[in-house]
């Protein structure tokens, strides 16, 4: 079974750094991308960016470019989303989702990681 398992909930203070993870299992890494999607409390889904796990090539939504960094470790079948300096407005649920090469949809999705940023 193809699965994406995300790291657990985080509570951080403004200005702190954070990296959350998304580990894939049940499929080969080649020809798959991982996207990250933000869902702020009570709000809709926002596509943040993606990474190709085979070569770590990334691209970002203009709304998130420069605010987050997406990376990956192919040897661990894991993608990461990181912040160098969190803000209260980063409080949200973050989902990872798989995109098969050549497709334009996301399936499956991880269970989500809740990030809370509060002083």
Instruction: State the binding string over 73-102 for another protein (x if CB under 8 A, else -).
Output: ----------------------x-x-----
Residue 65 is classified by DSSP as B
- Our finding on whether 9 is near another protein (CB under 8 A) is no
- Which of 55/119 has CB closer to another protein? 55
CB of 33 to another protein, least distance (A): 9
Phi, psi of 106 (to 5 degrees): -120, 120
**The only residue of 18, 31, 67, 112 in contact with another protein, by rule CB under 8 A:** 112
In angstroms, the CA 37 to CA 110 distance is 10
Position among 29, 47, 67, 71 found at the interface with another protein (CB under 8 A):
47
Q: Which residue has the tokens 């300096």?
A: 85
Whole-angstrom CA distances from 47 to 13, 24, 62, 82, 88 are: 24, 19, 10, 15, 19
- Classify residue 111 by its DSSP letter: -
Q: Which residues bind another protein (CB under 8 A)?
A: 35, 37, 43-47, 50, 59, 61-62, 95, 97, 103-112
């Amino acid at each position: 079974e193809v699965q994406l398992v995300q790291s657990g909930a985080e509570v951080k203070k403004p200005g702190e750094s954070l990296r959350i993870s998304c580990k894939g299992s049940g499929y080969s890494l080649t020809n798959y991308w991982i996207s990250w999607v933000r869902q702020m409390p009570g709000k809709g889904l926002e596509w943040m960016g993606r990474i190709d796990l085979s070569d770590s090539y990334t691209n970002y939504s203009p709304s998130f470019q420069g605010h987050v960094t997406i990376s990956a470790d192919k040897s661990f079948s894991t993608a990461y989303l990181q912040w160098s300096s969190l803000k209260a407005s980063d409080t949200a649920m973050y989902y990872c989702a798989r995109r098969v090469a050549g497709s334009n949809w996301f399936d499956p999705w991880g269970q989500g990681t809740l990030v809370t940023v509060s002083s």
